[in-house]
Amino acid sequence: MGESMTWVQALVLGVVQGLTEFLPISSSAHLRITSAVFFGDDAGASFTAVTQLGTEAAVLVYFARDIGRIVTAWTTTVWSRYVVRQRETVPASELPTTRLPVLDAHGRFGDHPDPHWQRELDYRVGWYVIIATVPIGVLGLVFADQIRTGARNLWLISIMLIVFALVIAFAEYYAGRTYGQTRRPLELLGTRDGLIMGLAQCLALIPGVSRSGATSSAGLLCGLTREAAVRFSFLLAIPAVLASGLFSLPDAFEPAGEGLNASGAQLIVATAVSFVVGYASVAWLLRFVARHSLDWFVGYRLVLGATMLVLLATGVVSAT
């Protein structure tokens, strides 16, 4: 058995998870680094996966209307098209509008969307999330043991912080030079975009990459607006993170082996803290990316990665 986690450690890690989950700086890397630098040990992959349930709950609450509308549109449309084999008409009063402007009946973007356009968009987004989740689901199961062990080496995490900082910077540069003002909003998201962002999400299995950083960068490279890429990134993460957290619950509540072992109560509190902090974080990030590029996070990743490499090279921090 490893060392027991203290309440201070549980609270600090819960705050770190909430602050970093949605930013393109890798929450798993920050939990690993915080545990190593300040607490001298590793909180573990299971702790990380379970506390992510708190931040994903924040996404579910923040996007509750959008998610409810997407689920309703997808299920009813699939039923009508493939089961009943006839199109179903739903009263406009039963179709709440989205926060984003969408296409109206004349093909223009506006704040008062045509309900049928909106319904079709929600149906497509539902399929894109399902299709894009398949790659990370398969790879997550195949490489589960490596993710929990070797991938948590701080040398690898530090290098990935730097490498993927350069990827994010390139994505911003390429999107600006290639697409300029012609970037597509979420309403024009296509199957190709969803699949590419889903494949990019697989990179998040490596701590230090960042799920939102990988998927948002892929969205920018596909020609999406920054806000559209980030918003779909949030929706795309929901199935994968929920599945990962639920899959890790038995290990987290029955800790064994080396590392910091959290009690059930500590795990619950840390997850609750990550929910509260994460809700504020997602609201802030959506406002931020509407006006600023992701380059703001590139410098931070470079500094953090370089600092960790120095600490590792000098023996101040252990890599494992």
- The structure tokens listed for 88 are 């179903």
At residue 105, what is the residue type? Answer: A
Contact 31, 17 (CB under 8 A): yes
**pLDDT over 80 (residue 238):** yes
As a whole-number percent, the residues of the chain with pLDDT over 90 amount to: 52
- 123/133 Cα distance (integer angstroms): 16
**Which amino acid belongs to residue 2?**
G
Which amino acid is located at 258 in the chain?
A: E
pTM: 0.83
Check residues 98 and 151 and name the one with the higher pLDDT: 151
- The lowest-confidence range among 25-34, 106-115, 163-172, 239-248 is 106-115
What span, in angstroms and rounded, lies between the C-alpha atoms of 128 and 110?
Answer: 23
Q: Tally Cβ neighbours within 10 Å of residue 293.
A: 18
pLDDT at position 225 is: 93
- Within 13 Å, how many C-alpha atoms sit on residue 98's CB side? 28
Which pLDDT band holds residue 102 (cuts at 50, 70, 90)? very low
- Average pLDDT over the chain reads 85
Name the 3-class secondary structure at 243: helix
pLDDT at residue 94 greater than cutoff 80:
no
Over residues 254-273, mean pLDDT: 79
What the block records as the tokens of 83 is: 């089961």
Could you give the CA distance from residue 248 to residue 243 in angstroms, rounded to a whole number? 9
Percentage of the chain modeled with pLDDT above 70:
84
pLDDT tens digit string along 272-296?
A: 999 999 999 999 998 898 888 999 9
Q: What was the pLDDT predicted at 109?
A: 46
Mean pLDDT value across residues 137-156? 80
Q: Is the pLDDT of residue 39 over 50?
A: yes
Contact at 8 Å (CB) between 104 and 112? yes
